[in-house]
Each structure stands twice: as structure tokens, then as C-alpha cells.
């Protein structure tokens, strides 16, 4: 009465060797990776390269800020560690990678 008869629909034919449709299904994934590369990966690699160059160029007498917030003058240079004088007579040893910024000369009084 109220319910009409339902008829099964035939399944669509499978695209067995259609190369264009498989490429079109992968296109959004490829585009997302390209956007991710230019928005996130490439700028991060550039920052790492700049930080590595800054750390390698450190010299005695440079005024630096560390990741822990310490500010001082470089007094000793080693392969992996630096000696930083925070105040007269107060020297700490930190890893080179902990240096986040080289301050302009004369920043410390």
C-alpha cells in the first residue's frame, strides 16, 4: 500500500586500467604534501641552517642569550660547550646549541 517496490541498481563498471582517474584521486594528496613542504618543512630547514651558522661563528667576547634565558659574554670556546660569563667572577658552561641569539656589542653593561 504505502511502500513501493524497491529495485536493485546495477553496480557501476569498475575502472580497471583508467590511468587518469587514479591520477586524479592522488592529486589532492600530492598537492597537500607540496603545500606542507613550502609552509612548514622548508622554513624550518632554513631556520636550522641559520642557527647552525650562527653557533659556528661564535667567538670570544660575543654577547649571547641562551635558551634558558641567561645573558652573558663568551669567554671560552670548545667543540660542544661554551664558557659564558654572566657577571664578574660568575661563569657557567653551556652547550653551543643552547645559544639562541647573538646580541649586539655593548648590550651588557
Q: What is the CATH number of the domain that holds 102?
A: 2.30.30
| Same domain, yes or no: 97 and 86 | yes
- Domain with 50, as residue range(s), is 19-57
CA angle (84, 100, 47) in 5-degree steps: 150
| Same domain, yes or no: 68 and 99 | yes
d(CA 72, CA 108): 7
| Same domain, yes or no: 40 and 64 | no
The count of domains in the chain is: 2
Residue 109 has a pLDDT of 79
d(CA 17, CA 53): 51
| Same domain, yes or no: 33 and 69 | no
Cβ contacts of residue 55 below 8 Å, gap of 6+? Answer: 96, 97, 99
Name the pairing type of β-strands 63-66 and 71-77. antiparallel
Q: Does pLDDT of 66 surpass 70?
A: yes
Residue 6 has a pLDDT of 65
| Same domain, yes or no: 44 and 66 | no
> What is the rounded average pLDDT of the residues 68-87?
95
| Same domain, yes or no: 104 and 63 | yes
3-state helix, strand, coil split of the chain in percent (to 5) is: 40, 25, 35
Strand partners, 91: 85
Place of cell 660568575: 90
> What is the rounded average pLDDT of the residues 73-93?
96
pTM of the model: 0.69
Amino acid at each position: 500500500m504505502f511502500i513501493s517496490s524497491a529495485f536493485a541498481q546495477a553496480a557501476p563498471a569498475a575502472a580497471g586500467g583508467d590511468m587518469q582517474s587514479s591520477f586524479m584521486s592522488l592529486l589532492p594528496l600530492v598537492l597537500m604534501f607540496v603545500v606542507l613542504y613550502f609552509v612548514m618543512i622548508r622554513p624550518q630547514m632554513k631556520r636550522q641552517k641559520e642557527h647552525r651558522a650562527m653557533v659556528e661563528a661564535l667567538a670570544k667576547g660575543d654577547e649571547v642569550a641562551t635558551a634558558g634565558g641567561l645573558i652573558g659574554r663568551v669567554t671560552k670556546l670548545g667543540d660542544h660547550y661554551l664558557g659564558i660569563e654572566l657577571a664578574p667572577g660568575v661563569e657557567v658552561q653551556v652547550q653551543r646549541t643552547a645559544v639562541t641569539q647573538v646580541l649586539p656589542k655593548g648590550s651588557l653593561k
